[in-house]
Amino acid sequence: MSRLSNMLAAWCVLLLASLVSAQSSSSSSSSLFSDSRCNSNLCLSVIYSPSQKVYNMTMSTDGGGAPNGWYAVGTGNKMKGSNMMIGWVDTTGNVVMSQRTASGHDDPVTTITAAAATMHTKQSFSNSSGTVWAWSFPLSSSDSTPGSSTSFIWAANKNNNPASSTSAHLKQHSDYGTFSLDLTKPYTPSTSSSSSSSSGSNTNGTPLTPSTGANNQATSTRVLNTSNRLIIAHMIMMILGWFILVPAGILVGRYGRTLFTWFPVHRGLQIAAFVVVLIAFILIIVEVGRGGDGHFESTHAKAGLAIFILMIVQIVLGAVGHKTKRFNPSRIVHVVLGLGVTGAAIWNSSEGLSLWDWGAPRWAKWILWIWAAVLAVAYLAGLALLPRDLRQWRQSQPGAEEKQTYTGLEPYHSAGAYDTPADSSQLHLSEQHALKQQQPYQANAHPGWGAQPLQTNNAQYGYEPYAQPQRF
Ligand SMILES: *[C@@H]1O[C@H](CO)[C@@H](O)[C@H](O)[C@H]1NC(C)=O
Ligand SMILES: *[C@@H]1O[C@H](CO)[C@@H](O)[C@H](O)[C@H]1NC(C)=O
């Protein structure tokens, strides 16, 4: 009996020992994984424990000690159903954390379905050197298994300071996006190693994360993944469309109506621009769709959609205007709208650049604005041709023709009379040049584009080919 009981006891000890060793080996081998990302608004660092099924999250931003806007991160790649933590600083300089979720891309609510977060108030602080919000999110079964590309959403509005209540109302984010973290990277306790030692000093280790993290992580969002490829293609196409083709078409219209046969070139350029913009538009719709977020929600996207619609209106106006005479209201609207839409598109391009997680360098915007300024100067210089343009138009009016016939003045000289002595000779030369260039073209009378000349009184008035209203 005693042998049996001894054996049983030994068994139990063995069993217990193996259980304990299994326990300890599992807890020691259950390594931790971590990764972090920063952008110009905030940093997020996540430590993932597969054994505890928990994310230890740290969100940080520069500055603090006083209200400096709200910052948020959440699980997944879209607001809908995301387990979010929104942090801000109240008027007394204390950090506030509010766990929320949303049913879509709209106001986040405090009635959450996810497991409640644990706020790590000791690791959270706000002073002039920075603000840190620390907490842990227990993973729920609905959360996707963390992997090498785990998505987190982020959002911020630096100009909206909610009240100190965790259920305070927030204004919509001014910036938002997604981070992709690699949670297969082993966690190497460096600065945070001190945080396990004691609660008093550990807080000093954490504040370093925002600044050091910002430098390390700025580059890690610069990965040529599908998302960034689509964004870069969108950007190149939009720049080609709005900074090269459209302005070229506008300048051809501005200079061409007095100097050469401009319409086919103008039309060709603007159709090419439309095709390029259409491709860029489709590319970004695909990219936003991939993220699973709603379409046309940022200012950049809304403005882009409006600009795209106006571009179509602009094409229709141009086609209609072409059937009318020079200075017809539809043409004036076409010119004004065209300039306005181009200006809006240029502004929207720089908006788009600041939205990109890649972190486009500041000089990228400057290049865009400097180029836009060069184009504006070229256009304004072209406006100097407007008086002559108006003159040609007046001459082409029936009344003007009669008067000129009556006074017996040659149209050129009557035209020259309006010019200042300084530039009249120059204009005269270019007019003659324009006339020479257009005469052979006039001989085959509009090969296949636009309206035919209304009258065939070319023989009657020598200047007609150059002053014909239908051509401008
Ligand atoms: C998460 O943070 C809490 C509080 O600081 C700590 O007790 C816990 O061990 C941490 N877990 C991981 C996985 O880092
Ligand atoms: C801000 O607080 C952190 C953590 O308490 C501390 O390490 C840091 O020195 C403080 N900075 C300033 C400027 O007070």
Ligand nearest to the CA of 195: 1
Are 258 and 302 in the same domain?
A: yes
Residues 121 and 202: their CA atoms lie apart, in Å, by: 12
- The whole-number pLDDT of residue 259 equals 66
Question: What is the average pLDDT value for the chain, to the nearest integer?
Answer: 75
**CATH number, position 305:** 1.20.120.1770
Are 187 and 40 in the same domain?
A: yes
Are 165 and 307 in the same domain?
A: no
Ligand nearest to the CA of 27: 1
Are 68 and 115 in the same domain?
A: yes
Query: In the predicted model, is pLDDT for residue 461 greater than 50?
Result: no
pTM score: 0.49
Are 252 and 351 in the same domain?
A: yes
Radius of gyration of the chain (CA): 34
- 37, part of any domain: yes
Provide the pLDDT confidence category of residue 409 given band limits of 50, 70 and 90: very low
Query: In the predicted model, is pLDDT for residue 383 greater than 80?
Result: yes
Are 160 and 241 in the same domain?
A: no
Residue 213 vs residue 184, higher pLDDT: 184
Q: What is the pLDDT of residues 161-184, one digit of tens each?
A: 998 888 888 888 888 888 888 898
- The ligand 2 atom at the shortest distance from the C-alpha of residue 128 is 13
Are 241 and 147 in the same domain?
A: no
- Residue-wise burial string across 333-358, b where 16 or more C-beta atoms lie within 10 A, e elsewhere: ebbebbeebbebbbbbbbebbebbbb
- 392, part of any domain: no
Residue 90 vs residue 292, higher pLDDT: 90
Are 200 and 64 in the same domain?
A: yes
Q: Where among 350, 369, 386 does a domain terminate?
A: 386
- The whole-number pLDDT of residue 302 equals 92
Is the distance from the beta carbon of residue 39 to the nearest atom of ligand 1 less than 6 Å? no
- The whole-number pLDDT of residue 442 equals 41
Q: Where among 219, 242, 274 does a domain terminate?
A: 219
Q: How many angstroms does the Cα of residue 124 sit away from the middle of ligand 2? A: 11
Is the distance from the beta carbon of residue 194 to the nearest atom of ligand 1 less than 6 Å? no
Query: In the predicted model, is pLDDT for residue 207 greater than 90?
Result: no
Ligand nearest to the CA of 197: 1
Are 79 and 214 in the same domain?
A: yes
Is the distance from the beta carbon of residue 225 to the nearest atom of ligand 2 less than 6 Å? no
- When mean pLDDT is compared across 3-12, 23-32, 120-129, 416-425, the lowest value belongs to 416-425
Residue 241 backbone zone (phi > 0: left; psi -120 to 50: alpha; other: beta): alpha
Provide the pLDDT confidence category of residue 440 given band limits of 50, 70 and 90: very low
Stretch 411-432: mean pLDDT, rounded?
40
Is the distance from the beta carbon of residue 207 to the nearest atom of ligand 2 less than 6 Å? yes
- Residue-wise burial string across 438-455, b where 16 or more C-beta atoms lie within 10 A, e elsewhere: beeebeeebeeeeeebee
User: Ranked by mean pLDDT, which of 56-65, 433-442, 444-453 comes out on top?
Assistant: 56-65
- 171, part of any domain: yes
- 440, part of any domain: no
- The ligand 1 atom at the shortest distance from the C-alpha of residue 48 is 13
Torsion of Cα atoms, 108 then 111 then 116 then 117, to 10°: 20
- 420, part of any domain: no
User: Ranked by mean pLDDT, which of 3-7, 247-251, 296-300, 393-397 comes out on top?
Assistant: 247-251
Are 151 and 276 in the same domain?
A: no
- The whole-number pLDDT of residue 84 equals 93
Structurally, the chain folds into a number of domains equal to: 2
Q: What percent of the chain has pLDDT over 70?
A: 69
- The ligand 1 atom at the shortest distance from the C-alpha of residue 32 is 13
Query: In the predicted model, is pLDDT for residue 147 greater than 60?
Result: yes
Ligand nearest to the CA of 210: 2
- 320, part of any domain: yes
Are 251 and 378 in the same domain?
A: yes
- 453, part of any domain: no
- 418, part of any domain: no
- When mean pLDDT is compared across 198-202, 238-242, 336-340, 463-467, the lowest value belongs to 198-202
The answer for residues whose C-beta is within 8 angstroms of residue 257's C-beta and 6 or more apart is 326, 385, 389, 472
Is the distance from the beta carbon of residue 129 to the nearest atom of ligand 2 less than 6 Å? yes
Are 82 and 199 in the same domain?
A: yes
Query: In the predicted model, is pLDDT for residue 441 greater than 60?
Result: no
User: Ranked by mean pLDDT, which of 89-93, 226-230, 433-437 comes out on top?
Assistant: 89-93
Is the distance from the beta carbon of residue 120 to the nearest atom of ligand 1 less than 6 Å? yes
Q: What is the pLDDT of residues 216-273, one digit of tens each?
A: 334 445 677 788 899 999 999 999 999 999 999 999 998 887 666 788 999 999 999 9
Is the distance from the beta carbon of residue 414 to the nearest atom of ligand 2 less than 6 Å? no
Ligand nearest to the CA of 56: 1
Is the distance from the beta carbon of residue 194 to the nearest atom of ligand 2 less than 6 Å? no
Residue of the nearest CA to atom 2 in ligand 2? 127
User: Ranked by mean pLDDT, which of 67-81, 151-165, 182-196, 272-286 comes out on top?
Assistant: 272-286
Mutate to test the pocket of ligand 1, among 28, 56, 97 (most ligand atoms within 8 A of CB): 56
Domain that holds residue 327: 226-386
**CATH number, position 126:** 2.60.40.1210
Task: Tell me the HSE value of 96 on the side-chain side, using a 13 A CA sphere.
Answer: 25
Q: Where among 196, 219, 242 does a domain terminate?
A: 219
- The ligand 2 atom at the shortest distance from the C-alpha of residue 203 is 4
